[in-house]
Amino acid sequence: MIQAPKGTYDVLPSDQGARRTLRAHAERILTAAGYSRIETPAFEPTELFSRGVGAATDIVQKEMYSFDDGAGRSLTLRPEGTAPVCRAYIEHGMHKLPAPVKLWYLSAFFRAENPQRGRYRQFWQVGAEVIGADSPEADAELIVLLGELLEAMGVASVRLRLASLGQPETRGAYRAELTEYLRANAASLSAEVRARIELNPMRAFDSSDPQTRAVMVGAPKLLDRLGPDDAEHFACVRELLDAAGIGYEIDPTLVRGLDYYTRTLFEFTSDSLGAQSGVGGGGRYDRLIEQLGGKSTPGVGWAAGVERILLAAPDQPRAPELVDLLVITAPAGDAPAAGPGGSGDDARAARPAAFELAREARRAGLAAQLELTGRSLKSALKHADRLGARYVAIVNDSQQATLRDMAGGEQQELATGAVVAAILRGKRL
Ligand code: HAM
């Protein structure tokens, strides 16, 4: 038996209801706030991510599915959406559009991670990006919108963590200070953190090793080193969130695995998720567009994991699938109880009429299905029950049909051409 690759999964018909709900909420909330949908390709030049996400990040170092395109060029299945959206912004000259450009996406992403609950190798994100606005309002509004989406989905036990990273220069100086501190305390650090002191010292804050954590309590914090403009920007974001009544924790140790962030950084977690508690997060990336070859343009955004939202909000109301009409061809000699008997010839003649009736019903806006397996009449009616069909039309010959209301069991004989009108008359709106 061939199975789906490790860390991937099938989105089955029974999973679609919850996903449809999520998509509808995202579309409603983001469209109302002026966001337009964008979809970028599933793969991009590898360089987009090494330059955009950062060569030292885990994502670029260990988690990318990269392959040769056959012409010597390296392509990568997108591990995230921000760099591709910025690439598209530059490529399509979106700086000519009225600023800011607000975009959202709902797409599949790929990371070669160790799979576990809430962590997959192919997963979905809903994301939003605002390009061309540097005001703190843009940051606060995005946070509010993600909060609304999580609330609309009923995500349980949500917490918001907030920090600011300042500018890369501030970060550079801070990084040197932190590296110095880590070197001085190297003996108490876990081997993994020690090995990465030079490459990515910030990740030390992420460690779960108790001794390392103890060392990090006393480590210098970037939030205490922000320049005056960045400190002011952060204070404004906080004021706006306070005024909106959004609760948050300032977390100077907040680390996210992408290098493009400047200033505001945030993450929503849900305690109901266990180890993979990050439901969604993002931040400001004022240097990214320039880094990718565009004109210096500020940006801010977030992405939230679809699977994690659904795991943290398991009780989605599942709208029943609607079937207005199931069209059956009366099998030869197997007519409905109250209907005329059908001969073999009639049954043959009924087939195109039944086929046409299903098409006509769908054109009229009804959810109509044609019975496709050649079931006996009895089992076709049982099937209609299972589907929850409101009506069944049994087409007896090229002209005549029996229309059965499945709720009450009443039947009427009528011309096949009159079936749709009869259903529409009886349809509750
Ligand atoms: P990220 O934190 O890497 O950020 O991913 C965002 C969300 O995607 C996570 O909070 C998590 O819910 C989900 N996620 C990430 N990896 C996996 C995985 N392997 N399996 C399941 N879910 C996963 C970004 O991707 C940034 N592009 C967000 C952003 C947008 N920043 C600015 N704009």
Please provide the DSSP assignment of 308-370 as one string.
Answer: HHHHH------PPPP--EEEEEPPTT---TTSPP--HHHHHHHHHHHHHHHHHHHHTT--EEE
Distance, CA of 176 to CA of 165 (rounded, Å): 15
Q: Is 283 in the pocket of ligand 1 (CB under 6 A)?
A: yes
Report whether pLDDT(365) > 90.
Answer: yes
45's CB contacts (< 8 A; 6+ apart) are 73, 74, 75, 76
Of 245 and 339, the structure prediction assigns the larger pLDDT to 245
Counting Cα atoms < 13 Å in the Cβ hemisphere of 401 gives 31
Q: pLDDT band for position 427 (50/70/90)? A: low
Report whether pLDDT(211) > 60.
Answer: yes
Partner residues linked to 300 by β-bridges = 130, 284
CB 328 within 8 A of CB 336: no
Give percent above pLDDT 70 in the chain: 95
CB 224 within 8 A of CB 165: no
Report whether pLDDT(343) > 80.
Answer: no
* Ligand 1 atom at minimum distance from 309 CA: 12
Q: 14-28, 229-243, 311-325, 358-372: lowest mean pLDDT where?
A: 311-325
The mean pLDDT of 393-421, rounded to a whole number, is 94
User: Is the entire prediction scored with pTM above 0.95?
Assistant: no
The per-residue pLDDT for 339 is 44
The per-residue pLDDT for 256 is 82
Q: Is 80 in the pocket of ligand 1 (CB under 6 A)?
A: yes
Report whether pLDDT(337) > 70.
Answer: no
Of 334 and 97, the structure prediction assigns the larger pLDDT to 97
Q: Is 301 in the pocket of ligand 1 (CB under 6 A)?
A: yes
Report whether pLDDT(301) > 80.
Answer: yes
Q: Is 100 in the pocket of ligand 1 (CB under 6 A)?
A: no
* Ligand 1 atom at minimum distance from 280 CA: 10
* Crossing angle (nearest 10°) for helices 344-363 and 419-426: 50
Q: pLDDT band for position 340 (50/70/90)? A: very low
The mean pLDDT of 366-393, rounded to a whole number, is 94
Q: Is 284 in the pocket of ligand 1 (CB under 6 A)?
A: no
